Structure 1
């Protein structure tokens, strides 16, 4: 596990991302205290992520198709 400062993140972000892409975790510190953690992205399938994002809708009987409902809400904005 590697540690980096917020300044390192600002000026050396590519190097930190390269480190994460190699499988290492990076702890970002701000004023000496751990603040964030960069971890490798685990490419889950889209369905799993979708269920996590719309989990608040799973018990809502008024909305049968969440995707259609959200598209309907956004329709007027675009």
Structure 2
């Protein structure tokens, strides 16, 4: 679906209803594409992607905490 910035200002309720139905809306300004309005993905989607990430669970077998490790590597170096 395509809509102008004026349509967005005057008919925002209808455009949001279209997004709720799963449609993607391209917003144009003076005939040129300026933005794309897409449906928001639920919070479950990032968790599903994390399971497929090869780095997920990297610290599972570590004894120390991630915060301590980050604090230690961010300390300034001591030169002799």
> Under a length normalisation based on structure 2, what TM-score does the superposition of the two structures give?
0.56
Return 5+ residue gaps in structure 1 as ranges. 49-59, 63-78
Within 5 Å, give how 1:39-54 maps onto structure 2. Answer: 39-45=38-44
Larger Rg: 2
- Equivalent pairs counted in the alignment come to 53
Return 5+ residue gaps in structure 2 as ranges. 48-68, 72-80
Q: Which runs of 4+ in 1 moved over 2 A?
A: none
| Root-mean-square deviation (Å) | 2.8
Task: Identify, as 1 or 2, the structure richer in helix.
Answer: 1
- Aligned counterparts of 2:15 and 2:35: Cα–Cα separation in 1: 13
